[in-house]
Amino acid sequence: MVKNKHFCNRIEMENNKVGIIGSGIMGYGVAIVCLQAGFSVLLYDKYEDSLLKAQKNIENFFEGSVQKNKILPETKTIMLSKIEYLKELSGVRARIVIEAVPEILKLKQEIFQELENYNPDSVLASNTSTIPITRIASVLQKPQNMIGIHFFNPAPLMKLVEIIPAEKTSDITLQKAIEFVNSLQKNVVIVKDSPGFIVNRVARHYYLESLKILEENIANVQTIDNILENCGFKMGAFKLMDLIGVETNHSVTQSLYESYFFEPRFQPSIIQQKKVDAGLFGKKTKEGFYKYE
């Protein structure tokens, strides 16, 4: 009886783990959300510097929550004890694994092919903003386990999550994904599998039209943002690009442009490309469309 009890406890612990692939702003943001919901987290990145930066950001987030009296110091300690930072993909074995790496189809496919070996019955989810889930799942032995779970940046604050079943996603995988996102206290919307899904397809022009106005010298960055914010938008397009990361935003636009067979309305901006080439990615580099102290 004791042996069986310990066995059950071990299975419960494994079932409560969430694996996250990629420790960038989205990866560690999703990690925070999962920790807040009581899950144990395995955060993987092959780059140690990225992991160390993510660890610092996660610790700072919870310390900030303590300072604002949102959580108790002991709660912070408990949450931070539930995350493990990994440099080996083979160590990621969890009930659900969420990939949050750059928008490169081949890279995502290679990661999921390897993950499938260690997680044959787990939900394998991509946080891709633009790439169809069916395309990512096409290389898997069990494409029925693959689904899209698309969080928005910053993940701890944004309530909406898009869930995208692929062509072969099973009903069980879909149900598990819905239950998981609901447990995070997020608002679920089920979306059909198409490039950009809903939000990114619509939002892309918030950025692109703002960039076109800038290119045509109709107004400067500050003026455009001020007008947008005074019209009711919480944050101007250029401030938002700097927050997300200019290079990340540009990559999403490029991916959507290619996925829609170079549809002109999704064409990336030369101005944004120059920022990327110069390494001016926004807040993370202290300069993007704005300068930061």
Catalytic residue among 23, 122, 126, 129: 129
Residue 160 pLDDT greater than 90, yes or no = yes
- 230: tokens are 């005074």
- 162: annotated active-site residue: yes
Indicate the fold that domain 200-285 takes in CATH: N-(1-d-carboxylethyl)-l-norvaline Dehydrogenase; domain 2 (1.10.1040)
Would you say 253 and 204 are in contact if contact means Cβ atoms under 8 Å apart?
A: yes
Q: Give the model's confidence band at 173: pLDDT under 50 very low, under 70 low, under 90 confident, else very high.
A: very high
Q: Taking Cα atoms as reference points, which of 282, 293, 275 lies closest to residue 241?
A: 282
- 117: annotated active-site residue: no
- 129: annotated active-site residue: yes
Catalytic residue among 145, 150, 210, 251: 150
Q: What is the pLDDT of residue 207?
A: 97
Would you say 34 and 151 are in contact if contact means Cβ atoms under 8 Å apart?
A: no
CB environment 261-289: b (16+ within 10 A), e (fewer): eeeeebebbeebeebbeeebbbbbbebbb
Q: Give the model's confidence band at 293: pLDDT under 50 very low, under 70 low, under 90 confident, else very high.
A: confident
Helices (H), the chain: 2-15, 25-36, 48-67, 73-80, 105-118, 133-137, 171-183, 199-215, 221-230, 237-244, 246-259, 270-277
Catalytic residue among 23, 162, 210, 250: 162
pTM: 0.87
CATH for the 2-190 domain, from 3.90.470.20, 2.60.120.10, 3.40.50.720, 3.40.50.300: 3.40.50.720
Catalytic residue among 40, 119, 122, 200: 200
Over the stretch 53-91, which tens digit does the pLDDT of each residue have?
999 999 999 999 999 999 999 999 999 999 999 999 999
Domain boundaries, given as residue ranges, for the chain = 2-190, 200-285
d(CA 22, CA 19): 10
- 200: annotated active-site residue: yes
Residue 3 pLDDT greater than 90, yes or no = no
Would you say 23 and 50 are in contact if contact means Cβ atoms under 8 Å apart?
A: yes
Q: What is the pLDDT of residue 267?
A: 96
d(CA 181, CA 187): 8
- 273: tokens are 């490309």
